[in-house]
Each structure stands twice: as C-alpha cells, then as structure tokens.
Amino acid sequence: MTSESRNRRFLSEINVIPLVDVVLVLLVIFMVTAPMLHRGLDITLPTSSSNNIKAQERLVVTIKPDQTLFLGNETISPIELGVKLREAKAANPLVSVYLRADQTVPYGTVVQVMDEIKGAKIERLGMVTGPKTEQIDRQAVRNAS
C-alpha cells in the first residue's frame, strides 16, 4: 500500500442541501394549495371571548347577509330546513346543530331559524362566533364612553 491510500479518509457526512431543497419545494406547494382547499361561505361572524367549539361532525345552518339559508353548503328554504332537521333528529336523537349568522342579519331572522331548529325538537343548538380581537375591545370601550 502506498502512503497516499493510507492517508485517504472516507467522508461519512450526509449532504443535507438536496434534502433542504426538496423540503422547501414541498413547503411552497403546500402554501399555494392550502388556501384552495378551504371552500366555504363568506360571512362576517360576530365575536366572542368564549369561542371553544371544536371541529367535529355536525349540522351547520348558515344565514348569509342577504338572509339566504344554507344547510351545510346547500341552499335551503325555511320550510325545507325544518323537514331536513326533523329527518336528522329521527336518524340521530343526539344531533347537534350549529348556527352561523352574519352579524348584519336582523335578529328576527336569526330567531325564526332558531325556532325552526327547536321546532324539530333539536335541543343541542350552538351559536358560532369568531375569535375576539383586541382592536374590537378597544372600539367597544371607546363607543361605551
């Protein structure tokens, strides 16, 4: 053996540059596609500091600003709403309904929808709100003064 081969050492380090490149490409792909995956209805929810509803399987009734009703993502009339809710109650006695209403919807409309839900004998009714922010709290204090 020559002295040159004795002095040669093997490099046992892992080259992480290709790994970092792949991770960054995946990150960009997920950042671009994630907003496209969320499809919903655009409404402005009222805020509450006690918003602790966890994501779970449930019936969601939505009232848009133009007072259009939705059960899930399907447009529905108030009469159809009552029928569908009665069917859901018959299928599952412990069914829960969450009501999402834009803050500009008149109170009377919200009460009418709540009456339809209670008329279907559904006792578990939740009101969906958005998280409360500091800016809104400051505005409320200024308006109260």
How do residues 41-65 score in pLDDT, each as one tens digit? 667 777 766 655 443 358 899 999 9
What's the CATH architecture for 47-134?
2-Layer Sandwich (3.30)
User: What letter does residue 127 receive in the DSSP assignment?
Assistant: E
In the predicted model, is pLDDT for residue 106 greater than 80?
yes
How do residues 5-22 score in pLDDT, each as one tens digit? 566 777 677 788 889 999
Can you tell me which residue has the tokens 């299928």?
91
Beta bridge mates, 130: 47
pLDDT score recorded for residue 53: 46
Q: What is d(CA 95, CA 37) in angstroms, rounded to the nearest whole number?
A: 27
pTM attached to this predicted model = 0.54
Ordered by start, the domain boundaries in the chain are 3-37, 47-134
Phi, psi for residue 144 in degrees, rounded to 5:
-75, -25
